[in-house]
Amino acid sequence: MMIVLQVVLAIFIVVGGFIKIFRISFQVEHWQQYQYSLWFMSIIGFVEIIGAIGIIGGIWNQYLALGANTLLAILMVGAIHAHIFRAKQSILMIIPALLCFMLSTSIIIW
């Protein structure tokens, strides 16, 4: 079951990372609302992809799983902060980041 959660989380995160790196229009609009620069969006996208690779590698190495999921949990706290406090968006906008945070922390605890 834990492997399934890791794969699902990695897929979700890697898609989000590529959306940021390729600067898909809806994501650019969000980052403008957060008042962050677009180069920072690209860096976060790259870090997300590295984290997703780490999650997959964590299937075989528990230390890699711990590090990658800790990194992603921290990123998701930042995402939640950006949605609520910087862009002042609806609480519904944090659902994807909150789910990723919960999955990451579940994998850490497991």
Report pLDDT digits (tens) over 4-54: 999 999 999 999 999 999 999 999 999 999 999 999 999 999 999 999 999
Ranges of each domain in the chain: 2-109
| CB neighbours of residue 63 within 10 Å | 9
Instruction: Write down the pLDDT at residue 77.
Output: 98
Tokens coding 64:
């890699």
| CB neighbours of residue 109 within 10 Å | 7
Report pLDDT digits (tens) over 49-72: 999 999 999 999 999 999 999 999
- pTM of the predicted protein model: 0.92
Tokens coding 17:
């990372």
